[in-house]
Structure 1
Amino acid sequence: MYEEILDVAEQLFMTQGYRATSTRQITEKLGVTQPTLYYHFKKKEDIYYHVMLRLSETVETELRKIATNPNYTVEEKILHMALFLQQKHPFNLFVMMHDIQHTLSKEMSQKLYQLWIKSYRAPFIELFEQNQFHLKNEIDPSFAVSQLFILIASYLETPNRQVDLSKSVHVFLYGVIEEKVE
């Protein structure tokens, strides 16, 4: 029942957000009672944390696997990482981050933010820090990844736009202006 609760809760949290999802909705979708739910989790916030913990473990494993694949160029790694997030996260990252910052307790927000840093940001930052990829001097990897996530987030709710995402990653990495030849 524990995994079934997480499966249903993940689907609801990721489509509606934390605030709009109730424990009643979770139990109705599962066909169980509230006491059954509370046998496994003390409160809704605990369910959300365990959903995000499970999701972040999967995300981190896959992002690191892609980032270390020797058969991909850096651009291909970033694109495949972005495509993975697009497939795994058919929801708005901004809604998720808003929920974490403004809806949950401060303690839970901190725990979830640490998961986010470790599982989502770190694989991208480590990729940018590798010697094979040189950022402009004024750009640090953390800033580059923040900007990349803004770009990726705009494609998460539209999983059929892989070509556009590919073009956008290319523009992100190399810009839109061709070097002027004189």
Structure 2
Amino acid sequence: MNPERLNRKEFILYIAGELFMEKGFQATSTREIAEKSQIKQPNLYHHFKTKEDIYVAVLERLSLQVKDGLETIINQPHRDLEECLTEILTYLRNKHPANFTMMSHDMKFEISNEHHAQLYVLWRSAYLDPLETLFSRYLPQPHRFTPAELARHFYSVIAPFIQKDNRFNQEVSADNIIHLFVHGIL
């Protein structure tokens, strides 16, 4: 994405997205967003009523990108489950801008109930639904775990490996992480 080609509101979201994904909701101020967007803080409120509104708009954009990426991966023909999950992990490692754990914490604890509900709908649509579809396609039914349980567990397993500043990204291959997830230790 070329930030110079964005309109003012999109540029604010681009800058805010970088800050929120790097530092988290709490540690990012509207003053910092305004300064890095090269506008005065009151002008920021011309586009967004609150910091939460900015955060929600950033996550809406991110969710659409993630959903498109995951659906593209799971809809490729002639792939097995392990290949799809490995590609999903690789995609999230390379494309997901946030510390997954920090983002989940922010969505759960730092955001108002009104926005929390909205963010959950985004999370479900972009992150959980594609994985549930994938697990439904490959696992025999009935299965010990539901596709929803597997999708949530998958994210809890891979979360440490998606962090941008994490040494695990280089030390553990996506293939090994997914092999362990799919086959267990035996």
Calculate the TM-score normalised by the size of structure 2.
Answer: 0.88
Looking at structure 2, the residues matched to 162 and 10 of structure 1 have their Cα atoms a distance apart, in angstroms, of 28
Looking at structure 2, the residues matched to 154 and 90 of structure 1 have their Cα atoms a distance apart, in angstroms, of 14
Runs of 5+ consecutive residues of structure 2 not aligned to the other structure: 1-7
Query: Does 1:169 pair with 2:178?
Result: yes
Aligned match of 2:150: 144
Q: Once the two structures are aligned, what percentage of the paired residues are identical?
A: 36
Query: Does 1:24 pair with 2:31?
Result: yes
SS state at 1:154 partner: helix
> Is the Cα–Cα contact under 8 Å of residues 162 and 169 in structure 2 kept in the other structure?
no
- Structure 1 residues 137, 163: closer, same or farther in 2, change over 3 A? same
Q: How many residues align?
A: 176
Letter in 2 for 1:167: N
Looking at structure 2, the residues matched to 16 and 136 of structure 1 have their Cα atoms a distance apart, in angstroms, of 42
> Is the Cα–Cα contact under 8 Å of residues 152 and 165 in structure 1 kept in the other structure?
no
Aligned match of 1:37: 44
Looking at structure 2, the residues matched to 67 and 108 of structure 1 have their Cα atoms a distance apart, in angstroms, of 29
1:155 to 132, 155, 161: 161
Looking at structure 2, the residues matched to 156 and 90 of structure 1 have their Cα atoms a distance apart, in angstroms, of 9
RMSD of equivalent CA atoms = 1.7
- Structure 1 residues 103, 163: closer, same or farther in 2, change over 3 A? closer
Per the TM alignment, residue 163 of structure 1 is displaced from its structure 2 partner at its CA by 5.2
Aligned match of 2:102: 95
> Is the Cα–Cα contact under 8 Å of residues 64 and 123 in structure 1 kept in the other structure?
yes
Aligned match of 1:180: none
Letter in 1 for 2:50: K
Calculate the TM-score normalised by the size of structure 1.
Answer: 0.90
Deviations 1:46-76 (A, max 9, x none): 1001100011011101100100101422211
Deviations 1:62-120 (A, max 9, x none): 10010010142221111111111112224322211111111111000000011000101
Looking at structure 1, the residues matched to 81 and 170 of structure 2 have their Cα atoms a distance apart, in angstroms, of 21
Letter in 1 for 2:55: Y
